Amino acid sequence: MKKKSKLKLQNNNNNNGQELIKIENILNKMKTTLYYSENLSRLTALKELQMEEDNDPFKILIGTILSARSRDENTSKIVRKLFQKYKNVIELANADLNDIKSIIHSIGFYNTKSERIKQVSKIIVEKFHGIVPNEIEDLLGLPGVGRKTANCVLVYAFNKPAIPVDIHVHRISNRIGIVKTQNAKKTEEELIKIIDKEYWLVLNNIFVMYGQNICLPIRPKCQICNLKDICNFYINQQNN
């Protein structure tokens, strides 16, 4: 007999009458799996930065730009190194581009990222009086800042509810079956409809940790995953 997903909607709705999913159950199951696989202690780069830098919006913005398509361990190390030399936005705006490149050269796409962080710093100094804006429209107006980066800054720097969707959030949401989407933008649009706002601030960090440690892009560790009974990807594999 074919197994079926037990993923059910909650009884409560959002303001638009859309049914919400039981995200608390999913997050708890992820945390339990991470805990027993001894991976809970490994924080994501942005969580680490948020804790170390006391939610400093500028460092979190630069850290998010640097983290794109880069390993977390490397990102944290480079961000620390960069801010050892440049203490604030004005220093980074006036920095020599080649110096920035030499500091971040071990990170992927370091040429483009060096230019971006210098441009972004200059705009923040000139247009925003040295203060990182906390509105999504302003953040999206900065060069190289897309929705994921802007939403990360809102969540990790300003504690403003948003759902940053990176490759992990997109992949896991689709595998479990809470969305059925082709790209990150669509995933964000769907998730904000079906997830209680109360959980938006924590979702990215837990999903990213899960994607880095358990629900890997290739060969996910389904055998130790507590989401097996509700995950469409797993259930479909068992049925084939």
Residues that bind ligand SF4 (CB under 6 A): 172, 175-176, 214-215, 220-222, 225, 227-228, 231, 233-234
The whole-angstrom separation of Cα 150 and Cα 135 is 9
Measured from the CB atom, is 26 or 46 closer to ligand SF4? Answer: 26
Least Å from the CB of residue 4 to ligand SF4 = 15
Least Å from the CB of residue 223 to ligand SF4 = 8
| Six token digits for residue 47 | 């969580």
Measured from the CB atom, is 93 or 172 closer to ligand SF4? Answer: 172
Least Å from the CB of residue 176 to ligand SF4 = 5
Measured from the CB atom, is 169 or 227 closer to ligand SF4? Answer: 227
The whole-angstrom separation of Cα 87 and Cα 200 is 31
Nearest to 176 by CA among 218, 236, 239: 236
Q: Report the 3 state secondary structure along 183-199.
A: CHHHHHHHHHHHCCHHH
The whole-angstrom separation of Cα 100 and Cα 200 is 34
The whole-angstrom separation of Cα 15 and Cα 211 is 30
Nearest to 226 by CA among 3, 21, 74, 6: 6
Measured from the CB atom, is 40 or 222 closer to ligand SF4? Answer: 222
Measured from the CB atom, is 104 or 206 closer to ligand SF4? Answer: 206
